[in-house]
Structure formats: C-alpha cells, structure tokens
Amino acid sequence: MCIRVTLHLNTFKHYRGPVRHTATIAVDAAIRATATATRYGPGPAGSVAATPIGSSAANRPPANASAPADASASPVVSEDVYVVLSARSPGILSWAWFNPLTGIVFPLITFALALAAVSAVTERVVVRWIAYLQRIASLYARGRLSVRPVQAEQMPPEIRQLAETLEDMADAIVGRDASLRDSLAQKDALMREIHHRVKNNLQVISSLLNMQQRALSDPAARSAMSDTRQRITALALIYRALYQGPDLKRVDLRPFLEELTAQLVSGELVHGPAVRTELAVDPLVIDPDRLAPLALFAVEAITNAQKHAFANRGGTLSLTFVVRGDEAELDISDDGAAPDDALVASGVGRTLMTAFARQLRGQAELVRNARGGVTARLVFPTPAADAPARPSTGNQAAA
C-alpha cells in the first residue's frame, strides 16, 4: 500500500543546525507513525504522531497487530513530500520462499513439455514416414520390386524426395533384371543349340561307324566297331539330356539310365534273343562331368553282359542305383553262367571300367551274384557329399 503524506515544514526549512536536525527527526517519526497506522489499520484519533526515533513507542506494534510488516519512505519534492510503502513481512509459506523452487521446477516443466511436443511432432512428421519407407525398402530387398510408396504425396518434401529416389531405384533394378533375364535367355538358347549340334555331330559319327561296321567281315573288327559306336551313342545321349532338360548344368540320372539301358539293349535285339531289363534307380541330379564316366561305365558293363552272358540265350539284365548318404552305388547284373576266369580277365572293357571309376574317385569291381552271373559294381562319392561347401550369402501394392 502506498500512502502520500504531505508535511508543511515552512516553519523549519529556514533553520540550520540543531533546529533543522530536530525537524528532520520529527518528519521521520511522522512517517513511521503513518506506516504503522497503515500496517495495522486505523487507530484512535491522534495516533499518528511524531515520535522520536529510537524510542520504545516507535518500534512497538499496537495491541491489534496480527502480523509483522515492513515500511519504506522516500522524499519526492525537496523533502516536503514523502512516499511511504508498507507491506506485510513475508512468512514461512510466503511466495518469496517458493521463488527458488519455481526457478528450478518451472524450467524443468517447460523443458519436458517442449520435449514432448518435439517428440510428438517428430513422430508425426518424420519417424512414421521413415518407418514406412523402411518397410518399402525391406520389400525391395525380398525381390518385390512392384511395390510403390503410394502414400508419398502425404510426406514432407524432403522425405517425399527420398521416396521418389527409392521408387526410381526399384525401376532401375527392374529394368536391369529384365536385361539380365534377356541375356540369360539368349545364353541358354545358345548353349542348348551348341549341345544340340554336338549331339547331332556325334550321331553322324555313330551312323558312319555303323555303316563301316556293316562293311566289315571280320567278327572281331565288327565287335570293336560296335563297342565304339555304343560309347559315342552314350555321349550323344548326354548332350541330348542337357539341351532337352530344364537345367543346362544338371541331368536327372533316373530317366537317363532308363533311356541308355533301353537304347543299348534294343540295339542288339536284331542280332540275338530278347533281353529283359529290370531297373531300380534312386533319384539323383548329377552334373555332366560325373555323368559321362558313369554312362561310359554302364555302357561297358552292359556290353560285356550282352557279349558273354546273353549271347545266343538271352536273359535278364538288372540295373540298380542306390544312394547311401555320402556314397552312391551302381550295380549292373546278369543271370548268365559266368566262367571262373570272367572275374579276373583283363581286357579293354575292364581297363576302361577301372579308368572311369578313378575319374569318379570311386572303385569298380566284378563279383559273382546269387543268380550265377556277374555283377559290375561302381561305388563313388555322391555329388552332394563331394562338392565343397559354399558360404551362405546374407512384389505387391504398397502397404
């Protein structure tokens, strides 16, 4: 509360020394009395009086005082007009005690509110669109390149440019993949054409050998020519299986052995009695490098059976191929009456069979079977077990 107090001191202003000092004391006492009256409410008439400073009456609060107060006075115009300000003294629970606490709490509250506002705006404007583009990129990584960020129009300009960049990247990958597929298709077509031409050339050679065989009169020469022609026929069959199959680097062994056996047996039907075949082949996909010696081994075994076991009597030819984990076993058996020296005889066929087994890093042997005939056996590592281990390398509308 501010109180304006005007005191006329014309009587004292012309005095000097002790008299003026006494007047100043009186003015100060009057100001204190006025502040006391203002602080504690109006008192009895004449309670505002000049009281000398330092007296007990000037500093003693009246009986109706309820709380302490502070007062301040200052002259305004040449010490004739004074302004007095009086207010209650701050207590323990006053605002002044809470000022240091609010100086710490309010900034913390303001920082927390600002952080929450920034997080909410960031989540709304940036984070959710980054997560959306991350899902799109993960779809691209899985090969679903037809996905497009259809919600890009709602993004901020900078993130929209990133979405457009991802879309351009997907288009570029699609175009590159299409070009690679075209090149691969052309390569496959070229390889199939090469295999086809090699097969045709081998068949031409086989036909020429057949013509030459017919012109020969020596039985040994005719037999040698026939064996050579059958080996060439087996190689031609490999190339035909390659260009006719779905994979230019792999051949399914089961249909290949069935066709090879049928072709070798049917070629000798015109020269002797019929031979019945029994085949049991486990499925196995094999590459041409292993298929060639395997096929030539089968040609030698079947040719020997036709020459020695089925000559002038026929019989049953059994072909069994079994895969046992890391090893594969090929058995070609006949039911003919094999002489005792058939298992130890050495000839061109036996030499070739041993060479083909070594090429497959396997073993070849001739054993007598339960039907009295001979079984040509080839044991070699399976392609899956023999191949070195390779280190592992780690489309739809948009969501």
- Full set of structural domains in the chain with CATH: 2-88 (no CATH), 103-172 (no CATH), 255-388 (3.30.565.10)
Going by pLDDT thresholds of 50, 70 and 90, the confidence category of residue 139 is confident
Going by pLDDT thresholds of 50, 70 and 90, the confidence category of residue 30 is low
- Rounded to an integer, the average pLDDT of 50-66 is 44
Q: What is the percent of the chain where pLDDT is above 70?
A: 68
CB 339 within 8 A of CB 314: no
Mean pLDDT of the chain: 75
- Reply yes or no on whether the pLDDT at 396 is more than 70: no
- Reply yes or no on whether the pLDDT at 310 is more than 90: no
Going by pLDDT thresholds of 50, 70 and 90, the confidence category of residue 100 is low
Q: CB-based burial of residue 31 (10 Å sphere; 0-12 exposed, 13-18 middle, 19+ buried)? A: buried
- Reply yes or no on whether the pLDDT at 91 is more than 70: no
Top pLDDT among 243 and 71 is at 243
Top pLDDT among 146 and 64 is at 146
- Rounded to an integer, the average pLDDT of 150-160 is 82
- Rounded to an integer, the average pLDDT of 27-55 is 46
- Reply yes or no on whether the pLDDT at 23 is more than 70: no
Cα–Cα distance list, 97 to 69, 77, 92, 101 (Å): 16, 36, 7, 8
Residue 140 has a pLDDT of 85
What's the full length of the chain, in residues? 399
Q: What are residue 83's DSSP bridge partners? A: 4, 74
Longest CA pairwise span in the chain (Å): 172
Going by pLDDT thresholds of 50, 70 and 90, the confidence category of residue 386 is very low
- Rounded to an integer, the average pLDDT of 143-159 is 83
